[in-house]
Amino acid sequence: MKSTENPSYESAFHIEPAEVMTKLPTQFFATLVQKVNREISAGHDVINLGQGNPDTPTPPHIVQTLQESAANPLYHKYSPFTGFSFLKEAISKRYFDDYGVKLDPETEVAILFGGKTGLVELPQILLNPGDLCLVPDPGYPDYWSGVALAKAEMSFMPLRKDNAFLPDFGSISESDRKRAKLMFLNYPNNPTSATAPLSFYEDTVKFAAEHGIVVASDFAYGAIGFDGQRPVSFLQAPGAKEVGVEFYTLSKTYNMAGWRVGFALGNREIISMINQFQDHIYVSLFGGIQAAAAEALTASQDCVQELVNRYESRRNAFFAGLSEVGWHADKPGGSFFSWLPVPKGHTSASFADLLLQQAKVAVAPGIGFGQHGEGYVRVGLLTSEERLREAARRIGELKIFG
């Protein structure tokens, strides 16, 4: 009698991924998360300063708008492919009020499923296999992901302390200037926390126009500037909209990381391409989330100022603690990160491991952001002042800094 059991094809059937899957960069920070979770599972009290996830809730008035909007039948249907006009108008008004930048809501604004989505989409929209993209080093690793998906190539622009962690366009080779079609910038910067002056963006526009390079300004931390200084938008530079776009997200400004709301702003041709690309992938954000996002942008911005004040107070408390234990570094001018030099005799990875294992303090090794991140660790100001002071105290007990 023949068996009625289903035959097994396990030995013969093999799923082969597309080549592009093998080219994607390794997620360095997945390893860090695993290390931290092992320490926590072992019962240790870990102060996790290695993450970039806002630690306080979305302001109540934004949450309330979503709750009310969720009951609106209009939003139970497909949203317009390019998003509701009311949200694009709210974005344009916020940019004009904050930066004096005029944007046409329908032609110069694209709504994104979070800022990361736009940053990964853009290389696929603009680059062909073998094209060159200029990326900052150290920089946000997802720039690399978009370039890999486009089967393009990267040339790294070193960010060094002696140049205020700004790229030196004069040091870019003639061959890279000719080949490059796209350049990523990010200020306030992740991971270095550096900020960029308007003069830098004016130089950027000139460089990009001369060499036919599209500029992608990642302005994720655009609302977070300290010591009374508001970060400068790339779009404030004359001619910026002719050569590029800026990416903005509500994740950091309004503690809406899980809501996945971002925008691309600027050059009309690029905005049109982004919308066209997304037409093939998405049907825009849930309308209730768009209504809540518009509320965030148009209501009182007191919650944003309170958030900035909180991060600045945390920065001051943490750096006071670091000074007491002898770990000296420049205070960040923006973002919610600090970029700290590792002591002699350590790599960024070995020092991060030491802090986690012996002080139960997690930090992100600079090497995870690129070769020029070596020699530093990134610390997130994403816990209470009390915990930040405790982290500094624990580090001091290791007697590393004298």
Please say if the pLDDT value at position 1 is more than 70: no
Please say if the pLDDT value at position 3 is more than 60: no
Smallest Cα–Cα separation from 185: which of 216, 210, 213, 160? 216
Q: Is 231 exposed, middle or buried (0-12, 13-18, 19+ CB in 10 A)?
A: buried
CA atoms of 224 and 194, how far apart (whole Å): 11
Interval 311-340: pLDDT, tens: 999 999 999 999 999 999 999 999 999 999
Please say if the pLDDT value at position 187 is more than 90: yes
**pLDDT at site 26:** 78
pTM of the model: 0.93
Segment (H or E) for 157: strand 153-158
**pLDDT at site 191:** 97
CB 134 within 8 A of CB 180: yes
- Poorest-pLDDT segment among 22-36, 64-78, 134-148: 22-36
* pLDDT band with cut points at 50, 70 and 90 for residue 11: low
* pLDDT band with cut points at 50, 70 and 90 for residue 8: low
- 154: which strand partners? 133
Q: Which residue has the higher pLDDT, 11 or 244?
A: 244
**Start-to-end C-alpha separation, the chain:** 81
Cα–Cα distances in angstroms (integers) from residue 12 to residues 2, 4, 7, 15, in the given order: 21, 20, 11, 10
Please say if the pLDDT value at position 28 is more than 80: no
What count of other Cβ atoms lies within 10 Å of the Cβ of residue 131?
17
What the chain holds in terms of domains, given with CATH numbers, is 19-57+303-397 (3.90.1150.10), 77-298 (3.40.640.10)
